[in-house]
């Protein structure tokens, strides 16, 4: 079997906000952090073989959606004529030119190789990855510009079967610590809570206070409490706190840096994303396991949630499926003809029991919505 051709189809979807605005960290009067969503390019990569077994995946997830022409030319030059089942060989070849690009520039292509492998073996990718679980629990990111709005949104999620909620409170440490307590009082002890500090900026001393407050409120984890490049402070914080610290989200495009954070004890929970390829996610998961850590996928991920559904169920040390903005992001796949996006049911996500990623494509809709081909 050999790779015959690589094609990228381009679509336009209102997937993400093109600009953001900043809020006063001490204020609770902000109405959001971004503008309305705009139409943006979304790419789907199609790897064809001489035996008619093809791999298909989105290039990115809901935000990082494009491969540039130079990258595509390099990809074709290095992989056409190769056996798509030789994933490690291809991974090594493409990593060799990563100094010129983002280290994970070929993640969408790697995901196509896993789709092909599943179809050849007649197995879902989740089973190729280890078949750890049939389903994985999802958590919901609550939205709102006030405590009342956050609670209202969280209550609606609980009614839909979710049992775990995550906040992205954007205020300073003092305000956030008060709100942690109010969220716990509002939702009760039976609801799992997480705090993601990505929208605020703590000093080390503030992060330590926040961590202690979260421990008192029995939160599940503290995520991204410091800028990711502060390795030494992450090591200190993780060592000082009992609550698990999740991080390295802005480094997850680089498997070697992510491994350094694990090896240094800088995080208990390493963030990963399937848009960077299933091969590096699996490598990092195994590495994390040897360091008594877990990996957790970030947002819906590629193929409108299907890639993360397979990864999360297949790999043994991934526990959660994150549902995050845009909150119709997974179902937006139907707009371009992918008819079975990964949508949580009663707070849980499972994967299609069919070969490869198991994507159910309406190719007529796909052709109708496509605006360009590369």
Q: Does 161 score more than 70 pLDDT?
A: yes
Chain mean position to CA 287: 18
Of the residues 79, 103, 122, the one at which a domain ends: 122
Average pLDDT score over residue span 57-78: 92
pLDDT of residue 323: 92
**Burial of 123 from C-beta contacts in 10 A (0-12 / 13-18 / 19+):** middle
Judge if 220 and 88 occupy the same domain. no
In a domain, 165, yes or no: yes
Mean of pLDDT values over 111-127 = 99
Residue found under tokens 């549902």? 323
Within-domain flag for 193: yes
Same domain, 217 and 303: yes
Same domain, 270 and 212: yes
The string of pLDDT tens digits covering residues 326-340 is: 667 788 899 999 999
Report yes or no on 136 lying in a domain: yes
Residue 178 shares a structural domain with residue 29: no
- Residue 220 maps to a domain: yes
Residue 249: Cβ-neighbour burial (10 angstroms; 0-12, 13-18, 19+)? buried
What are the angstrom distances between the C-alpha of 215 and each of 181, 182, 318?
11, 14, 22
Q: What is the CATH number of the domain that holds 57?
A: 3.30.390.10
Cis geometry, peptide bond prior to residue 255 (ω within 30 degrees of 0): no
- pLDDT over threshold 70, residue 26: no
**CA-to-CA dists, residue 83 to 50, 86, 168, 308, angstroms:** 10, 6, 44, 25
Q: Is residue 280 in a domain?
A: yes
Do 81 and 211 belong to one domain?
no
Tell me how far apart the alpha carbons of residues 210 and 169 are, in angstroms, rounded to a whole number: 12
| 3-state class (DSSP) for residue 116 | helix
Q: Mean pLDDT, to the nearest integer, of 249-253? A: 94
pLDDT of residue 30: 42
Q: What is the pLDDT of residues 205-223, one digit of tens each?
A: 999 999 999 999 999 999 9
The answer to whether residues 90 and 83 touch, using CB atoms and an 8 Å cutoff, is no
Q: Is the pLDDT of residue 28 over 80?
A: no
Q: How far apart are CA 49 and CA 172, in angstroms?
A: 53
- Classify the C-alpha dihedral 60-352-341-132 as positive or negative: negative
One domain, residues 116 and 152: no
Reported as a pLDDT band with limits 50, 70 and 90, residue 324 is confident
SS3 string, 311-328, reads: HHHHCCCCCEEEECCCCC
Q: Are residues 263 and 146 in the same domain?
A: yes
Residue 29 has pLDDT above 50, yes or no: no
Chain-centroid distance of CA 51 in Å reads 32
Characterize the bridge pairing of strands 164-167 and 135-141: parallel
Q: What percent of the chain has pLDDT over 70?
A: 93
* Region of poorest pLDDT, from 25-29, 196-200, 273-277, 315-319: 25-29
Number of helical H runs and strand E runs in the chain: 12, 13
In whole angstroms, what is the distance from residue 358 CA to residue 127 CA?
Answer: 12
Q: How many domains are contained in the chain?
A: 2
Same-domain pairing of 70 and 182 = no
Note the maximum CA span of the chain.
61
For residue 47, is it within any domain? yes
DSSP 3-state assignment of 43? strand
Domain of residue 136, CATH code: 3.20.20.120
Same domain, 65 and 132: no
Task: Evaluate whether residue 364 is within a structural domain.
Answer: no
Q: What's the pLDDT score for residue 32? A: 43
Residues 253 and 178 grouped into a single domain: yes
283 in Cβ contact with 255 (< 8 Å):
yes
**Among 94-108, 128-142, 161-175, 284-298, where is mean pLDDT lowest?**
94-108
Domain that holds residue 47: 3-122
Task: Phi first, then psi: give them for residue 38, nearest 5 degrees.
Answer: -120, 160
Q: What pTM does this model have?
A: 0.94
Task: Please say if the pLDDT value at position 318 is more than 80.
Answer: yes
Among 107, 122, 137, where does a domain finish? 122
226 and 342 both lie in a single domain: yes
In a domain, 265, yes or no: yes
Is residue 68 within 8 Å of 22, Cβ to Cβ?
no
Name the token pair of 345: 């049911």
Looking at residue 61, its pLDDT comes to 87
Q: Which of 62, 95, 122 is the last residue of a domain?
A: 122
Question: Residue 350 CB: number of other CB atoms within 10 A?
Answer: 18
As beta bridge partners, residue 57 has: 45
pLDDT at 160: 93
Same domain for 308 and 348, yes or no, is yes
């Amino acid at each position: 079997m050999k790779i015959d051709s690589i094609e990228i189809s381009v679509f336009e979807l209102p997937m993400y906000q093109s600009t953001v605005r900043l809020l006063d960290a001490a204020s609770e009067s902000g109405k959001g952090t971004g503008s309305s969503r705009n139409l943006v390019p979304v790419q789907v990569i199609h790897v064809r073989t001489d035996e008619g077994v093809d791999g298909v995946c989105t290039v990115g997830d809901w935000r990082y959606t494009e491969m540039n022409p130079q990258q595509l030319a390099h990809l074709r030059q290095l992989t056409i004529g190769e056996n798509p089942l030789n994933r490690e060989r291809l991974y090594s070849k493409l990593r060799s030119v990563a100094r010129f690009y983002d280290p994970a520039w070929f993640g969408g292509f790697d995901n196509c190789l896993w789709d092909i492998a599943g179809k050849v073996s007649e197995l879902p990718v989740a089973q190729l990855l280890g078949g750890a679980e049939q389903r994985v629990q999802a958590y919901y990111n609550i939205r709102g510009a006030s405590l009342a709005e956050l609670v209202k949104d969280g209550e609606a999620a609980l009614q839909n079967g979710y049992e775990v909620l995550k906040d992205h409170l954007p205020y300073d440490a003092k305000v956030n610590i008060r709100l942690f307590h109010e969220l716990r009082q509002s939702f009760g002890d039976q609801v799992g809570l997480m705090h993601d500090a990505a929208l605020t900026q703590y000093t080390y001393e503030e992060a330590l206070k926040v961590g202690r407050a979260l421990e008192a409120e029995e939160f599940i984890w503290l995520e991204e409490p410091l800028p990711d490049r502060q390795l030494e402070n992450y090591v200190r914080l993780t060592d000082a706190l009992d609550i698990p610290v999740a991080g390295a989200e802005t480094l997850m495009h680089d498997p070697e840096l992510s491994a350094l954070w694990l090896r240094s004890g800088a995080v208990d929970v390493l963030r990963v994303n399937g848009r960077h390829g299933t091969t590096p996610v699996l490598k990092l998961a195994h590495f994390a396991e040897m360091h008594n850590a877990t990996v957790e996928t970030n947002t819906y991920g590629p193929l409108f949630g299907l890639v993360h559904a397979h990864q999360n169920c297949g790999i043994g040390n991934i526990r959660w499926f994150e549902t995050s903005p845009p909150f119709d992001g997974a179902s937006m796949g139907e707009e371009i003809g992918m008819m079975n996006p990964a949508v949580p049911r009663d707070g849980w996500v499972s994967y299609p029991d069919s070969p490869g990623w198991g994507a159910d494509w309406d190719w007529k809709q796909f052709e109708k919505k496509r605006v360009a081909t590369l």
